[in-house]
Amino acid sequence: MVSVPSRDEVRQAIVDLLEGRRSREEVDRWAAPWATLDDLPEIDDELVWDTLDWLFGCATIDPSNLANNGYLFGEADFRAWLEEFDAAVARGE
């Protein structure tokens, strides 16, 4: 059985994107099942769910977005996601 990703795992995925340890495509594929499949365990942690939702789509192509090398999201977005994640944890969410 597949286990629900932890807060540490989803946070690490954002950090990995920022530090280049994992590609956008790899992180997108990792997050995709949670957004697209019905037969996985339910995610009770809203922060984990929201973060997986951000990560699913991090490899979305936008050819007109030259600032992000043709991707819809870029480093500034990933930093904002990390900041929002950390702020939610700090607020006790």
pLDDT along the chain (93 residues), means of 10: 86 97 96 78 87 94 91 95 97 92
1 located within any domain: no
Q: Tokens in use for 12?
A: 């690490």
pLDDT value of position 20: 95
pLDDT value of position 37: 67
41 located within any domain: yes
Residue 54 and residue 48: Cα distance in Å, rounded?
10
79 located within any domain: yes
**Rounded to two decimals, what is the model's pTM?**
0.89
Three-state secondary structure readout of the chain:
CCCCCCHHHHHHHHHHHHHCCCCHHHHHHHHHHHHHCCCCCCCCCHHHHHHHHHHCCCCCECCCCHHHCCECCCHHHHHHHHHHHHHHHHCCC
Q: How many domains does the chain have?
A: 1
29 located within any domain: yes
2 located within any domain: no
Domain limits for position 41 = 7-90
71 located within any domain: yes
pLDDT value of position 23: 96
